[in-house]
A and B are shown apart, each in its own frame.
Chain A
């Protein structure tokens, strides 16, 4: 069982709402990524979604685009992401890590070779924004052979017949994009999400994390009322961008603690 599945099981048993924190590998530099991941985990993140920087992140808003651009300039990429995860595991950090990204870097690496490398580094699951359910087997096949998972995305536009297909992938959790749009857009409140999340949970048989636009502890709390997990990304990246030199890990830890307290309150 992966670290991620163990955490999902524990959350289910205890009723704990899981907090997923998105971080961009290599922002502000690949050297700082392991410390930032550790800090987020120590402050209460249950899962880390580690974004692999990509030159053309067309599902992301400007905050994550800029983070990816900074990361690429600083030498971040798929190789450094795998290195960061391996480094974290060798230093005893056991937080579940979902690699997030776009398909081309994985495809060019070779999906079988990538699955080997991900397994070797200690990655638990992979989430690719441009592999919808219809194309996901291309990556799910190589990963599942090695005991790793994919995390499928479900959108407000997805019909129930699509949601039902998620079951094929037996995912540890489903990521529900709470609105049509790109990452970092304005939060439109929690209304309407409740029924969707219940539908996704029942059709997919998996816990549901909700993301997109969640920026504050209050947003997180309102979503956690009905979702199994909460994903926060752009708001974390903003904290990193505005932190002083060497302060990124501390800024992330403070913010994650706030979010955690919001969810648990």
Chain B
């Protein structure tokens, strides 16, 4: 069930999803991304690689992940709701699926070192994990503000033997971490693989990451057919860069009856301008190697994204989502910080599951989706990660200080106001 298949329905040879995607990177990196595309195509067609990946998915990640019927939530919201439990993976989120696959690819290419960017720290932890597993040195770039608000994940990465490099440039968040990772890669491209954590970045990353995460949707499709004997009416997943949503959606793309609903972060409210709703309220632009929707000003300067969830706090989004938005194949909603917190407590109260703040945005959209599909309708929620990492942020937002974060000053205003002068544009 966990086999990896490379041929997604829209795998473009030229790296385009309609007018989106492409390879907008420095010339120095072009040979490296061509090499990566070639290595990926070869690996995807190699049964040995697939078998190796399957073995790690099953015996290390713990796949297939469960598809849990959420009985209490279903009766409360009035639809049959299933949870695709990526929170039960090793390291607690969907990110590990991609990291295992890319680390195996890096090894095939003879790259000895891994680098990555991270926002919430989940991708950083997953990368640090595979680096330890495969014995590769690893540096993870993380915005200084995120380092402060995700101290637990920083500590986890360090324990795993990874060096965490705080990034003090720009807005000190995920986009700046990605800039710094690109600077590292352009300098050390000969021996280093840049393990991008989302379906963003230059081609072939959006395709590789989607294909590796598509194990989520393939399993879910088979599981729901087994449990219900039919396809679901709707899929719901949160969208920052968009990897867990792309992974859940893409195996259902050809099933036109299945609605695909992505949920972006509305931060403090769309009307405040302090949000991360790139698809909903951004414009077409070029950031970090691909053309897609971005949050930017009229003069083309990239805007700061805002969300209580560090993993959604990104002013770009994967190019395939941009295409799905334009064609109407997927629909994108937004939920605020406050609504996400309500979603988190709803799932905790009804199902005994503490989800990540990223996931909580998708939970917060379930009531709307449930009323669309009705009581007999079937909805699958992509439960992308568990919430342990967010407990101090959640507690603070609810007015309780757990005293867990080391650097209270840099974490001031954990919804994006920190960073002081450094964060000002």
Contacts and interface: CB of A to CB of B under 8 A. Distances in A.
Interface string B285-302: 111110100101011111
A55 to B, nearest CB: 4
Interface of B: 22-32, 169-170, 175-176, 178-180, 182-183, 186-190, 283, 285-289, 291, 294, 296, 298-302, 424-425
Given A107-B285, A180-B190, A157 B28 contact: yes
Contacts of B289: 130
Given A104-B287, A156-B28, A180-B186, A56 B23 contact: no
Given A56-B287, A73-B425, A108-B285, A78 B186 contact: no
Contacts of B186: 59, 180-182
A157 B287 contact: no
A191 B158 CA distance: 39
Interface residues of A, number: 43
Q: Which of A73, A103, A135, A177 has the most chain B CB within a 10 Å cutoff?
A: A135
Given A55-B425, A104-B286, A180-B189, A133 B27 contact: yes
A76 B69 CA distance: 55
A97 interface: no
Interface in A32-65: 54-59, 61-62, 65
Given A103-B24, A158-B27, A162-B31, 20 more contacts: A55-B425, A56-B179, A58-B182, A72-B301, A78-B300, A105-B301, A107-B285, A107-B286, A108-B298, A130-B25, A131-B24, A132-B27, A134-B23, A135-B22, A135-B23, A157-B189, A158-B28, A177-B27, A181-B186, A185-B187
24 contacts: A56-B170, A56-B287, A58-B178, A58-B183, A59-B26, A65-B169, A73-B425, A77-B300, A77-B301, A103-B24, A105-B301, A107-B300, A108-B283, A108-B300, A132-B27, A132-B30, A133-B30, A134-B30, A135-B23, A155-B27, A155-B30, A157-B27, A162-B31, A180-B186
A218 B380 CA distance: 66
A106 B32 CA distance: 26
Contacts of A246: none
Contacts of B300: 54, 77-78, 104-109
A150 to B, nearest CB: 12
A65 B25 CA distance: 17
A159 interface: yes
Contacts of B288: 56, 58
A54 B302 CA distance: 8
Q: At the interface, is chain B mostly helix, strand, loop or mixed?
A: mixed
Given A59-B183, A103-B24, A153-B26, A158 B31 contact: yes
B285 A104 contact: yes
A108 B26 CA distance: 19
A203 to B, nearest CB: 14
Q: Which of B22, B24, B186, B190 has the most chain A CB within a 10 Å cutoff?
A: B24
A155 B182 CA distance: 15
Nearest to A80: B299
A65 B167 CA distance: 13
Contacts of A62: 169
B360 to A, nearest CB: 28
Given A59-B183, A103-B286, A182-B186, A155 B425 contact: no
B188 to A, nearest CB: 8
A157 B32 contact: yes
Given A130-B25, A130-B286, A180-B187, A157 B31 contact: yes
A54 B301 contact: yes
Contacts of A105: 299-301
Contacts of B294: 104
Contacts of B291: 107
B302 A56 contact: yes
B23 A132 contact: yes
Contacts of A73: 424-425
A79 interface: yes
Interface string A123-135: 0000001111111
A197 to B, nearest CB: 16
